[in-house]
A and B are shown apart, each in its own frame.
Chain A
């Protein structure tokens, strides 16, 4: 299990993340919320091991991440970043294949993992397209498919005492149309239920967060402003952190809530 204890990260004396604790729970989806520059992406970079904290520690099964080789880490966590990589013109299938090549299984099994992941991300139809030719939203779906394939391949190693994997998503819905926004988050929940994994997702859409996430971590200026169950997130706290008015309405089907903003200053 991936845990961050009082992690900080400073650049040139300026703290981007300041003493934040994240306890990921298997089967629960954590929403990481906060205004631009609050440290959300940096926190995910710390959790993924891509950046090393300047204070505190990130641990995988209690082991400091700096002692975990990237090869082992890659089996247990995947990150879908904000900027999908382009560069060389790999086809979508080739790019997803790169995530499963270290898997301890045969070629047929690998092909199955690739096909399943592409299908789960609704990217199967993009299979033969080239990465540089994808639109932003298509690129995000492919990056999500690659992350699912990576963790499916990693789970075949059966590492760690619990083997629980973590899926980290950094604004995965930013370029997606509304139907695909729901599709992707539902697919992430399906993945959690299927594998017992944990998930942390950076979101700006409170309605999506309320519908799909169990817990919330609200960041402001690199610090934790609030954390707890998503359903209990107080609107006044939200309004204070984002400095804008939020209207919260019950969802028509009773799941989560619908949030709207009006561009007006906070109520109080």
Chain B
């Protein structure tokens, strides 16, 4: 690690760089919070049944005990049972993937790390695929009364957990768990997951194949309060745990050696952080499939704006990633309405070129 750190100075531009004057955190968070509120209101009023913004506001005010006029029964049902859970889910998944991505980037000391990279998403996707291919009956649970939609979150989460345990076991030597080893183990787990998913698609019948394909494209379609409840709780718990890590993530980002010298137990901390990431990402994948790009690009952009200190980076990333996914989901269900474009595809198609452009535009400057 230290060798690669000293090599990176070779990329240093000749010209003197402008000094870092970081914007203040409170106004930045205020701005992002306002953007999230605006995005949520916009998402609530947009859709195949348009609800005018003033009537949505009036309805919400009335619900909060303020003077206002409630929506009609049909419109209120659209708002409460269709749009609201979907928007809350999109915001929670965005927040979780953003904070998980930023945390992994500190653990791997690589701004290109992503929850997909360490194999956490792969594990969840493989377990989900197996569940869909075999079906409830195939798993010998036909008499349990469970439906596929209740079984899926549980198996996807278990898959994420299993992948994480596998990575930690593979990467652990003499009680140590280095970031490099974790990254390499993650690549191996990703290849394994990809092969398993491929096998499931090969063996699955037409219906399972179609279901599997849509799930893996990622989306928030069909989200209802009862389905997303447990996943929401897990995502919030994982995100809270990761936000509480901020100061130690800064120490860890300096390198394992410096982190130890400044008082951190680096190996124990890395393991705990990766487990929290697995918890959050496993829950997110279970309810929304594979949604890439968020954990990679949002922390990256926030770092350009506010700098790499995690006490600033993590909360801003959580808000910005929530805004991004709420808007992306609104676009996904509007651009080809009444069809529902998978939001994972939309983000990939728009996000990857944006990221590549960003990479070029920065012209060899160091990340973060």
Contact assessment for B264 and A98 in the assembled complex, using a CB-CB cutoff below 8 Å: no
Residues of B within 8 A of A50 (CB): 257, 260-261
Contact with B along A79-96 (1 / 0, CB 8 A): 101010111111100110
Contact assessment for B20 and A74 in the assembled complex, using a CB-CB cutoff below 8 Å: no
Contact assessment for A74 and B5 in the assembled complex, using a CB-CB cutoff below 8 Å: no
A223 within 8 A of B: no
Q: How far is the CB of A163 from chain B (nearest CB, A)?
A: 16
Contact assessment for A73 and B20 in the assembled complex, using a CB-CB cutoff below 8 Å: no
Contact assessment for A74 and B254 in the assembled complex, using a CB-CB cutoff below 8 Å: no
Known: A90-B307, A91-B20. A74 touches B253 (CB 8 A): no
What's the A-B contact tally at a CB cutoff of 8 Å? 103
The docked-state distance in angstroms from the alpha carbon of A91 to that of B307 is 8
Task: From A48, A50, A89, A90, name the one whose CB has the most chain B CB atoms within 10 angstroms.
Answer: A89
Known: A85-B2, A94-B309, A133-B12. A70 touches B258 (CB 8 A): no
A75 within 8 A of B: yes
B226 within 8 A of A: no
The docked-state distance in angstroms from the alpha carbon of A19 to that of B261 is 24
Contact assessment for B263 and A73 in the assembled complex, using a CB-CB cutoff below 8 Å: yes
How many of B's residues come within 8 Å of A, CB to CB? 35
Residues of B within 8 A of A112 (CB): none
The docked-state distance in angstroms from the alpha carbon of A245 to that of B91 is 71
B255 nearest CB neighbor, chain A only: A85
Q: How far is the CB of B264 from chain A (nearest CB, A)?
A: 6
Contact assessment for B2 and A48 in the assembled complex, using a CB-CB cutoff below 8 Å: no
The docked-state distance in angstroms from the alpha carbon of A250 to that of B19 is 45
A129 within 8 A of B: yes
The docked-state distance in angstroms from the alpha carbon of A48 to that of B262 is 11
Task: From A50, A86, A88, name the one whose CB has the most chain B CB atoms within 10 angstroms.
Answer: A88
Residues of B within 8 A of A99 (CB): 262
The docked-state distance in angstroms from the alpha carbon of A50 to that of B6 is 20
Contact assessment for B251 and A88 in the assembled complex, using a CB-CB cutoff below 8 Å: no
Contact assessment for B17 and A74 in the assembled complex, using a CB-CB cutoff below 8 Å: no
Contact assessment for A70 and B265 in the assembled complex, using a CB-CB cutoff below 8 Å: yes
A64 within 8 A of B: no
B16 nearest CB neighbor, chain A only: A133
Residues of B within 8 A of A102 (CB): 263
Contact assessment for A87 and B262 in the assembled complex, using a CB-CB cutoff below 8 Å: no
Contact assessment for A86 and B20 in the assembled complex, using a CB-CB cutoff below 8 Å: no
Specify which of B12, B21, B22, B109 is in contact with A87 (CB 8 Å cutoff): B109
Contact assessment for A128 and B20 in the assembled complex, using a CB-CB cutoff below 8 Å: yes
Specify which of A73, A85, A136 is in contact with B254 (CB 8 Å cutoff): A85
A91 nearest CB neighbor, chain B only: B20
Contact assessment for B111 and A128 in the assembled complex, using a CB-CB cutoff below 8 Å: no
Contact assessment for B253 and A87 in the assembled complex, using a CB-CB cutoff below 8 Å: yes
Contact assessment for A91 and B22 in the assembled complex, using a CB-CB cutoff below 8 Å: yes
The docked-state distance in angstroms from the alpha carbon of A129 to that of B16 is 10
B264 nearest CB neighbor, chain A only: A70
Contact assessment for B9 and A150 in the assembled complex, using a CB-CB cutoff below 8 Å: no
Specify which of A71, A81, A98, A127 is in contact with B257 (CB 8 Å cutoff): A81
Contact assessment for B261 and A79 in the assembled complex, using a CB-CB cutoff below 8 Å: yes
B308 within 8 A of A: yes
The docked-state distance in angstroms from the alpha carbon of A49 to that of B266 is 13
Residues of B within 8 A of A132 (CB): 8-9, 12, 366
Specify which of B12, B19, B251, B257 is in contact with A128 (CB 8 Å cutoff): B19
A234 within 8 A of B: no
Task: From A48, A79, A101, A133, name the one whose CB has the most chain B CB atoms within 10 angstroms.
Answer: A133
Contact assessment for A70 and B260 in the assembled complex, using a CB-CB cutoff below 8 Å: yes
26 A-B pairs in the complex with CB atoms less than 8 angstroms apart: A48-B261, A69-B265, A73-B263, A74-B263, A79-B261, A81-B257, A83-B6, A85-B5, A85-B257, A85-B258, A87-B254, A88-B106, A88-B111, A88-B303, A88-B367, A89-B307, A89-B367, A89-B368, A90-B307, A128-B20, A129-B17, A130-B19, A133-B12, A133-B366, A136-B9, A150-B262
Give the B-binding residues of A (Cβ under 8 A).
Answer: 48-50, 69-75, 78-79, 81, 83, 85-91, 94-95, 98-99, 101-102, 127-130, 132-133, 136, 150
Give the A-binding residues of B (Cβ under 8 A).
Answer: 2, 5-6, 8-9, 12, 17, 19-22, 106, 109, 111, 247, 250-251, 253-255, 257-258, 260-265, 303, 307-309, 366-368
3 nearest A-B residue pairs (beta carbon): A74-B263, A128-B19, A88-B308
